[in-house]
């Protein structure tokens, strides 16, 4: 009986979930399947969410780690939202593959700025996480050695550039706003003439989602971030919740993954979702709590988002019909 359930107040972060770049990337695969039929090849996970990837696989998308796994084909080959090194589209062109670039436009902005700095003889210091696809893609925009990666302020202390070496910095788009500010401050303290981006590289969606978590985290007993472990922006949301004072914050992909030893005796819960997590998974998590609790959901909104990115040109209706 519902009356016997303990009460649970869920504070739902807004904005949460899909950003414009993720919507564009997923739509690119869906549209390519619709226009050209399966298979559609996708290099790397189109976005970092297993549910999304499995759903697209069922529709005929074939995910590969490298272009070498794509056979001789006229089928579309889509590059993921995280961006790719310049060598990848060059390889696709050499093999005459039908390549479609679904790189998020905000990642492309970072690529273009890195190229511009290189043209002006500035060495680029990239703030980001070693091995993340976005970082690999950005470093791959310039010749080897033209970009130096740093992750922390401690890494900045180890840099050995002379004061007269022209420098610029760029950042991965999905970092913690606070962590990045600390690294940027360290860079400016050591190299006062370092040049930054015209507009911050951390994307609007990352910033907005972190701000919503900061608002809610101090008010709840626990926080769930709906997202995949390999999603950088989702991991940052979990860290932001902990730093903002939430006693228990966990990354959870599906309702079945909830650890009831941690979440079985709470009165308030915060819920958000990383930029690559679909809303259906948020609903699944809330439904799992509703089976055990008498749930009341309140949405806490800290920003309105109206950003839209058009599909890659080859997939727009006017081009596809030609």
Q: Which residues are catalytic?
A: 134
Residues 6+ apart with CB under 8 A from 45: 53, 63, 80, 230
Closest of 271, 283, 288 to residue 221, by C-alpha? 271
Which alpha helices (DSSP H) does 60-104 contain, by range? Answer: 87-94
Q: Which two tokens stand for residue 185?
A: 């401050």
Pairing of strands 222-226, 268-273: parallel
Closest of 249, 217, 247 to residue 235, by C-alpha? 249
Q: Is 60 left (phi over 0), alpha (psi -120 to 50) or beta?
A: left
Respond yes or no on whether the N-terminal peptide bond of residue 39 is cis (omega within 30° of 0).
Answer: yes
Query: Would you say 57 and 33 are in contact if contact means Cβ atoms under 8 Å apart?
Result: no
Nearest 10 degrees: CA dihedral of 140, 146, 151, 157? 170
């Amino acid at each position: 009986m519902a009356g016997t359930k303990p009460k649970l107040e869920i504070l739902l972060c807004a904005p949460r979930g899909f950003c414009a770049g993720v919507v564009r990337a997923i739509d690119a695969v869906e549209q390519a399947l619709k226009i050209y039929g399966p298979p559609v090849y996708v290099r790397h996970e189109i976005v970092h969410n297993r549910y999304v990837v499995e759903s697209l696989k069922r529709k005929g998308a074939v995910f590969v780690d490298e272009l070498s796994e794509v056979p001789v084909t006229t089928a579309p080959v889509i590059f993921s939202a995280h961006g790719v090194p310049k060598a990848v589209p060059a390889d696709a062109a050499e093999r005459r593959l039908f390549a479609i670039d679904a790189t998020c436009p905000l990642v492309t902005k970072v690529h273009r700025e890195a190229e511009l700095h290189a043209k002006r003889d500035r060495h680029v210091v990239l703030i980001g996480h070693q091995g993340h696809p976005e970082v690999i893609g950005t470093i791959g925009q310039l010749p080897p050695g033209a970009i130096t990666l740093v992750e922390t302020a401690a890494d900045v202390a180890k840099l050995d550039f002379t004061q007269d070496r022209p420098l610029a910095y760029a950042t991965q788009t999905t970092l913690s706003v606070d962590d990045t500010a600390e690294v940027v401050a360290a860079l400016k303290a050591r190299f006062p003439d370092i040049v930054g981006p015209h507009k911050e590289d951390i994307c609007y969606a990352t910033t907005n989602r972190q701000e919503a978590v900061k608002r809610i985290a101090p008010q709840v007993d626990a926080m769930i971030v709906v997202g995949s472990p390999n999603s950088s922006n989702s991991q940052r949301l979990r860290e932001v919740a902990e730093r903002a004072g939430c006693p228990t914050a966990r990354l959870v992909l599906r309702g079945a993954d909830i650890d009831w030893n941690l979440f079985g005796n709470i009165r308030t819960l915060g819920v958000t979702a990383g930029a690559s997590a679909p809303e259906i998974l948020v609903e699944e998590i809330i439904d799992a709590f509703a089976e055990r609790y008498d749930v009341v959901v309140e949405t806490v909104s800290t920003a309105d988002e109206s950003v839209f990115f058009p599909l890659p040109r080859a997939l727009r209706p006017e081009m596809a019909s030609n």
